[in-house]
Amino acid sequence: MVAAVIDGKARAARLRETLTAEVIELKAKVGRVPGLAVVLVGEDPASTVYVRNKGQQTKEVGMKSVEHKLPADASEAQLLALVEELNRDETIDGILVQLPVPKHIDSGKILQAIAPEKDVDGFHAVNVGRLWSGDKRALVPCTPTGSMILAKDVLGNNLSGANAVVIGRSNIVGKPMAALLLAESCTVTIAHSRTKDIANVVKAADIVVAAVGVPEMVKGSWIRPGATVIDVGINRIATPEGKTRLVGDCAYDECAAVAGAITPVPGGVGPMTIACLLLNTVTAFKNRNNL
């Protein structure tokens, strides 16, 4: 058996098409389009590329895109003042401060300063609480949202009773992913670097979400035959030729030989993350306009 490859790139394109049509409808109802503001502090090369891609895709679906770039030596107070200004701006529905920020700035303080109803990253304590308590107004982190969409594309909308193992316990992916799976009535285990006999824990899973940040940690022997594998990891490793290549947290060829379906790296969960940022911005717009 060879696993079906879950094409995140194609799925993200379909989601953007749906959002483009929805933005046209929302403009007709409210008289304006959803607005997303992205804030970048410093010149981190990867962050600069991410911000450019986010801005480009925001415009492509017909939404308002605003970028604010602050120098690397900008103070925490300057960044907080900008966030407060965006909180008050009625044309902005989503605010995202690109991480990482320079070391002299407390990222936790910045993330909690964003108005919860505009927190399209889903990191504010209010949104975390809403997610875990089942409040439909929760804005959920983009990567778990995209991972859930891909899992449901394979397994259908009814995941009730499925055994799910999430490998990784970060606030960005692992914990919110577990909350989403629980909300779908899955039986959820969170495994991590300290989990004893992790291979057997994973082997019990119908759904495996690998988000631990360790290149090719999950082996084919860990996967139950026919399981759905969502690989969130993006790791750059050296090749024998002296170049580098991207790999996930799963040993892809091994896992694909056993799984029923699997996301590739790149081209799996990654493209869904920005698409779900746009989805969250539309959701925030609808929440703020009681739609």
Between CA 243 and CA 4 the distance in angstroms is: 29
Q: Catalytic annotation on 112?
A: no
Q: Catalytic annotation on 231?
A: no
Between CA 291 and CA 285 the distance in angstroms is: 8
Catalytic residue among 64, 118, 119, 121: 121
3-state secondary structure (DSSP) of residue 79: helix
CA distances to 24, 34, 91, 269, 291 from 30, rounded to whole Å, are: 10, 10, 11, 32, 10
Between CA 228 and CA 164 the distance in angstroms is: 9
Between CA 131 and CA 148 the distance in angstroms is: 14
Q: Catalytic annotation on 59?
A: no
3-state secondary structure (DSSP) of residue 167: strand
Catalytic residue among 54, 64, 118, 175: 54
Ramachandran angles phi, psi of 284, nearest 5° = -60, -45
Catalytic residue among 64, 93, 98, 249: 98
Nearest to 214 by CA among 232, 239, 196: 232
The residues annotated as belonging to the active site are 54, 98, 121
